[in-house]
Amino acid sequence: MGRVSGKVALVTGAARGLGAAFARRLVEEGASVLLSDVLDEAGESLAQELGSRARFVHLDVSRADAWKSAVANAEEHFGPINVLVNNAGVGVVASIEEHTEEDFRNIIAVNQIGSFLGMQTVLPSMRRAGGGSIINVSSAAGLRGVPGTFAYTATKFAIRGMTKVAALEFAQYGIRVNSLHPGPFRTAMTAHDSDSLRQVLAVVPAGRVGEPDELSHMVLLLASDEMRFATGAEYVVDGGLTAR
C-alpha cells in the first residue's frame, strides 16, 4: 500500500519541473492524479507515461470557469478530491523601477488569484471526500526579500497569509492547508536566469540547487494522513537559505 493509496489529487503546473515531480510521486504512492497546466503537449505526454491513474486537463488557473471544469473532470474520472497542490506560478526578474504594470497583474493573476480560485473551487469536492489536504506552493521569497522579484515576492507572501486564513476556515471540514517554501530548485524556470541563480547559490549553505524529486517527498508527506494534525504551517525546503 502506498502512502496516499485511494486518494484523488489535483496538481497545477504539473507538465514539467516541480509539478511533474509532485504528480509522479503521488501516482507512485497510490493516488489518482489530475495533472493540469497550460502546456498541453508536455502534460499529455506525462499523463500517458504515468498510466491509468493519471489524467491531464488544460487549466488556466487565473480563470474560475477553468477551475470548475477541472474539478468536475477529476470527480467524473476519479471521485472527490482529497489533495490539491497549488503549484502553478510565474515570475519575472526586474527592479521595481523596471517592472511593468502588465507583468505585475499577470503574476498576481496566476500566483495569487490562481491559488485563491483553487482553494475556493475545490472546497465542495473536499467536503464530499470527507476532508483533505491543500498544499500551497509559496517560496523562500515568501519569507524574505529578494531584489529583482518585486511582484513574485508579493504574491508568495500573499500565499503564505492566504494559507493561514484558509486553514482556520477549513479546519471544521477536516481540511488541512499548509504552505511550502522551496528555495532554488533545478527547473525550466530557474534555468532561464543563470545569473540570478549563481547569485543565490553564493548564499545557499548547501552549496547547490535542489532537485525536484527532493521536494516531492515533502508534498507526499503533507498529502498523506501522516500529517493529519498539521495545518496553517509553513514548511521550508531551501538548503538553509533562510537560516542566514
Catalytic residue list: 152
Sheet holding 175-182, edge to edge: 54-58, 32-37, 8-12, 83-86, 132-137, 175-182, 234-237
Angle at 59 between CA 55 and CA 62, to 5 degrees: 155
Please say whether the beta carbons of 4 and 217 come within 8 A.
no
* CA pair distance 237, 242, nearest whole angstrom: 9
Q: What is the DSSP letter of 211?
A: P
The partner residues of 33 in beta bridges, in order of sequence, read: 9, 54
* CA pair distance 16, 186, nearest whole angstrom: 11
Residue with grid cell 517560496, as numbered in its chain = 139
* CA pair distance 73, 57, nearest whole angstrom: 8
- Alpha-carbon dihedral of residues 186, 192, 198, 203, nearest 10 degrees? -60
Q: What are phi and psi of 186, to 5 degrees?
A: -80, 105
Q: Helices 64-77 and 114-129 meet at what angle, rounded to 10?
A: 30
SS3 content of the chain, % helix, strand, coil (to 5): 50, 15, 30
